[in-house]
Amino acid sequence: MKPWLLTLAAVVACVPPAGARAAEVGLIKIDGTIGPAAAGYIARAINLADARHDACLVIQLDTPGGLLDSTKEIVQTFYAAAVPTVVYVAPSGASATSAGCFITMAADVAAMAPNTSIGAAHPVMALGGAEKLDEVMKQKLENFASSSIQAIAEKRGRNAEWAKSAVRESASITAEEALGLKVIDLIAADMPDLLKQLNGRAVNGKVLQTAGAGVAEIPMLPREKLFQVLWRPEVMLILMLAAIYGIIGELSNPGAILPGVAGGIALILLLYMSATLPVNVAGLALIALALALFIIDVFAPTHGVLTCGGIAAFFIGALMLFNGADPAFRLSLSYIIPATLLTAAFFVFIVGAGVRAQFLPVRAGRESMLGARTVALGPIDSMGGKVFVEGAYWNALSEAPVEEGQGVEIIGFDGLTLIVKPIKAVS
């Protein structure tokens, strides 16, 4: 065969068939707490990567933890996935703590960047629970979590003994230690290094072809971004304040409309989030007590005694509002202190002023003219007459005859007609 024919054949062999798609690797990034939004995002990305026939899906993870029910959902999604899943704890300084430890070990391939950490998977809250657990329930939950992570590690051929220690002893290790203990499969400095090390690795009977593959990031949908932001303790606290300020502001200043609408929307979002976030009932009760003390002090001033009690109750309630044992749901004092002071000021100055205004005597309108004095514009008797009051002409009646120019005092009303009486001249 002629040399040019051999060259042409080689070129044709390198050209992909019409409609063929170059090898690609899907990529999503989870940065923050694990909740329903993250679980939905991962499930959607796996389905999309499978539909696109991606070589694998890389989940770049950096999380302080999250909800165990959402973690369980993600693990089950990994098990059912047709496309190979790779959890990559990155960038340097990132961590896969608590729920993140479960997720990393459940992936087909577990990878970490240098100077990252994994572990501290001790359960500190019930699945979507809201109350502090007693000792019996703590033990049951710990046993459940321990057996779950052991099953995950055994299924993926990883160090089950260390996995149990991560739950029972809150053990935490670096990426280098995790590789030595066979907790993870590899350490990769960056994405190209990860793809290079993944190439040729067999996963569920499929050999990964990732060398030179393109990386196609699957972004979060707007609604997923919204709910990922909403499922945070700080946001829930802000929504709680918005609901309180809006609804009570509307009640104390009827007709404002906007505060009531905003407060109602915030309340609905708050109720929706409270079904999944670990809200403490005792914290909610203290905040409710604080609001009651603030309102009572507005109606029955006690020289600030109840307001001081309300401030203390609100502060303690905000501290207890979320389970502080899990860093993923820890409410910082930088939010609690301003929220407490702002709420106290709101009730003292805004609500108090609005309520007091509703009990002030009428200073405008027809009632404000009672007792006012003016001059008759013409004769006034029981048949009628005219006076000029507050910039307007009024019909007037008087049982005693009144002469033109004589002073009169308004003593009542008959519809839109004023009832007057003559003012006796002082001799």
CATH at 96: 3.90.226.10
DSSP line for 129-188: --S---HHHHHHHHHHHHHHHHHHHHHHT--HHHHHHHHHS--EEEHHHHHHTTSSSEE-
Residue 322 has pLDDT above 90, yes or no: no
What is the β-pairing status of strands 202-203 and 206-207?
antiparallel
Residues 259 and 242 in one domain: yes
pLDDT at 66: 82
The better pLDDT of the pair 360, 169 is held by: 169
Q: What is the pLDDT of residue 165?
A: 92
Write out the residue range of the structural domain in which residue 278 sits. Answer: 232-358
Q: Which of 11-15, 160-164, 254-258, 346-350 has the highest mean pLDDT?
A: 160-164
Specify whether the CB–CB gap between 174 and 116 falls below 8 A.
Answer: yes
> Same domain, yes or no, for 329 and 382?
no
Give the whole-angstrom CA distance, residue 295 versus residue 287.
13
Instruction: Report the pLDDT value the prediction gives residue 14, as an integer from 0 to 100.
Output: 43
pLDDT at 125 over 70: no
Confidence at residue 58, expressed as pLDDT on a 0 to 100 scale: 96
Which run of H or of E encompasses 24?
Answer: strand 24-31
The CA distance from 146 to 163, in Å, is: 8
Averaged pLDDT for residues 47-66: 93
pLDDT (tens digit per residue) in 149-185: 999 999 999 999 999 999 888 889 999 999 999 999 9
pLDDT average, residue stretch 379-392: 84
State mean pLDDT over 298-315.
77
Structural domain contains residue 323: yes
Tell me the average pLDDT of the chain: 81
Residue 29: the pLDDT is: 95
CATH number of the domain that residue 392 is part of: 2.40.50.140
Count of other CB atoms within 10 angstroms of residue 334:
9
SS3 labels along 76-91: HHHHHCCCCEEEEECC
Give the model's pLDDT for residue 320. Answer: 82
Nearest by Cα to 331 from 345, 313, 319: 319
Q: pLDDT grade, residue 255 (50/70/90)?
A: low
Q: Is the pLDDT of residue 13 over 70?
A: no
User: What is the tens place of the pLDDT at every residue in 126-140?
Assistant: 434 434 455 666 677
C-alpha distances out from residue 48 to 44, 57, 60, 154, Å = 6, 10, 17, 28
Are 71 and 187 in the same domain? yes
Question: In the predicted model, is pLDDT for residue 21 greater than 80?
Answer: no
* Residues 75 and 201 reside in one and the same domain: yes
- Quick check: bond before 301 cis, omega within 30? no
Q: Does the structure show a pLDDT above 90 at 219?
A: yes
Q: Are residues 153 and 302 in the same domain?
A: no
pLDDT value at 89 more than 80: yes
DSSP labels, 380-421:
BBTTB-EEEETTEEEEEE-SS-B-TT-EEEEEEEETTEEEEE
* Pair 321, 392 in one domain: no
Is 1 within a domain? no
Whether residue 13 lies inside any domain: the answer is no
Residues 148 and 253 in one domain: no
pLDDT of 303 > 70? The answer is no
Query: What's the confidence (pLDDT) of residue 309?
Result: 85
Which region holds residue 273: left if phi is over 0, alpha if psi is between -120 and 50, else beta? alpha
Residue 286, in any domain of the structure: yes
Residue range 254-278: mean pLDDT, rounded: 76
Q: What is the pTM of this model?
A: 0.67
- What backbone phi and psi angles, to 5 degrees, belong to 55? -60, -40
Which amino acid, residue 190? D
Whether 314 and 171 map to the same domain: the answer is: no
Tell which wins on pLDDT, 352 or 209: 209
Residue 10 included in any domain: no
Q: Quickly count helices (H) and strands (E) in the chain.
A: 15, 16
With pLDDT > 90 as the criterion, what percentage of the chain qualifies? 32
Same structural domain, 73 and 192: yes
The proportion of the chain whose per-residue pLDDT surpasses 70, expressed as a percent, equals: 80
Tokens 């709420």 found at? 343
Question: Are 354 and 372 within one domain?
Answer: no
Does 7 reside within a domain? no
pLDDT (0 to 100) of residue 328: 61
* Number of domains into which the chain is organized: 3
